Chains A and B, each alone.
Chain A
Amino acid sequence: MLVLLGAIIIMLFLGGFQAFSTFGIGFIWSDIWDPVSDEYGALVPIFGTLLTSILALIMAVPIAFGIAFYLTELAPDWFRRPVGIAVELLAAVPSIIYGMWGFFELVPILGQDIMPLLQDNTLDWPIFGTIFSGPTFGTGVLTAGIILAIMILPFIAATMRDVFMQVPAIYKESAYGLGATTWEVVRNVVIPYTRSSVVGGIMLGLGRALGETMAVTFVIGNANRLSASLFAPGNTIASLVALEFPEAQTGSLKLSALLAIGFILFVISFIVLAISRYLLRARVKG
């Protein structure tokens, strides 16, 4: 296993070495991606990867928390199992299905109805006027964020539910005995008790969102430029690699650049996953 992981890192680094050596460290923050003049920079896909993942977290975390709260504290017993299973099955659906569904169902609705609506109503608002600007194709960074949110929702919800259930009943009963409401019990007993695991679960979801390929590739719109608008098409590392790879010739600088951004993605997700493992492991030991 160790050899395997080491080999993956080395292979990706060696593959991307040509690009790293050609463009130097500036590769990471150059926003040019121009196959015609054979110049490549990683800023746009890195930015897109982080932006879509963060959008997904903003949308998914509150909903996942609500589901976990509902399943552990509120739901009647007979209802817990089916909902729990449904959430877990949602996690098992292959990502390409989410991509297709997003492309054929979500994109038209967003493009024709929801995006224009958001745009019209926020025209004069200071920040929203910018991030909701531009033509409404339906594809773009925001759509990718929504699809990712739906995808990582079951992971985060399932982790949160599992750690919420680990809270000893006697702690909760003590709080209830003091007259606390359900919300107060969750806020003051359950959350402090499980904080690091909850963050670990969220990081695990983030790790998935960062590297998700197929779902994003369908809806991101594939454009290699920076844009302040969430409606604009963009690219993530994974979608760029999936989309441009078939056009890259063996031994070309472009292929090397793709492998180099793959290496960057590996480093980012390694850090996120390592933090998540660390936070989740602390709970198991304690």
Chain B
Amino acid sequence: MAVYSATRDAGLARRRKVTDQVIKVLCVVATVIGLFFLAWILFTLFWRGFAGLNLQVFTEITRPPGQPGGLLNAIVGTLIQTAVGTAVGTPIGMMVGTYLAEYARGSALGNAVRFVSDILLSAPSILIGLFVYVLIVLNTGGFSAWAGSIALAIIVIPIVVRTTEDMLRLIPDTLREAAIGLGAPKWKMITFVCYRAAREGIITGIMLAVARVAGETAPLIFTSLGNLNWSLNMNAPMASLPITIYQYAGSAFQEWIELAWVGALLITVGVLTLNVMARYVVRGGAK
């Protein structure tokens, strides 16, 4: 009887070990699959992107097929709309984040605002595009870079809200009490003490927000529309890299597809650089 039990235990131990090993191997395989796709995407991007990369991309605007063209108007358009969107969205986001962290701790209104902000953070960006279309494009009578920038600003706001609130919450209350104890009014405490202590974190949040909106395509289709000509007019349709990529990649002309890959490379390198830089800022701030 004792012998029987011992062999059964040995069998059980072996089975448990085998299960463990099998699952471990499967997990390694899963990780390899994940990294494989990342490598595949980046490789394709660099391979096809560098093939068409030359100075002309930065000096010429988009041209009809058959003529040598570049992406200058799209690059400038993306820079302008991202900058305006960030400039509009960041202060609003910071104010809401400050309200949540400093004024509305635990209040019902604060929780409701936080919930809505979290929903907007993950809401499909195409819906934000549709919203701005109905609100602004239909009412002002046409597609415009302003509409595009506002759509991007709406995407920026919840990201900045989230990081501002998180960063302000990390600041120890003793710091606040010290400021109040010295007789500082609350607004002075927030601007002179809290913002300074949380600066790196908030900057990181803004950089991540810029990285996110720079690659947004869906909301721009309905708002700034895209423009194949040179235009800096904020009241007119404006080109942007993602929209140009979208239009060119779906076209039948080889040189357009090539340019689309170059644009894709530019936008990805820009976005990833911002992400890595944001990480660096956080680490620098933590020291």
Contact = CB atoms under 8 A, between A and B. Distances in A.
Interface of A: 1-2, 4-5, 7-8, 11-12, 14-15, 62-67, 69-71, 74-75, 83, 85-90, 92-101, 103-105, 150, 153-154, 157, 181-184, 204, 207-208, 210-214, 218, 238, 241-242, 245-246, 250, 258-259, 262, 265-266, 269-270, 273-274, 276-277
Contacts of B214: 94
Contacts of B221: 242, 245-246
Contacts of A184: 16, 20
A276 B122 CA distance: 11
Contact of B222 (A67, A88, A245): A245
B246 A96 contact: yes
Contact of B37 (A89, A150, A211, A213): A150
B51 interface: no
Interface of B: 16-17, 19-20, 23-24, 26-31, 33-35, 37-38, 40-41, 44-45, 48, 96, 112-113, 115-120, 122-128, 130-131, 134-135, 138, 154, 157-158, 161, 211-212, 214-218, 221-222, 242, 245-246, 249-250, 257, 260-261, 264, 267-268, 271-272, 275-276, 279
Contact of A83 (B35, B126, B131, B154): B35
20 contacts: A1-B157, A1-B161, A2-B116, A8-B131, A12-B130, A62-B30, A63-B34, A64-B34, A67-B30, A89-B276, A94-B267, A99-B249, A104-B44, A154-B34, A183-B23, A213-B124, A238-B124, A238-B218, A246-B221, A259-B134
A154 B268 CA distance: 16
A176 B40 CA distance: 38
Question: Chain A binding site: helix, strand, loop or mixed by DSSP?
Answer: helix
Contacts of A88: 275
B89 to A, nearest CB: 11
A100 B261 CA distance: 8
B119 A105 contact: no
B130 A2 contact: no
B27 A103 contact: no
A212 B218 CA distance: 9
Contacts of B17: 181
Contacts of B122: 204, 207-208, 269, 273, 276
Contacts of A4: 116, 120, 154, 157
A270 B127 CA distance: 12
A250 B138 contact: yes
Contacts of A269: 122-124, 127
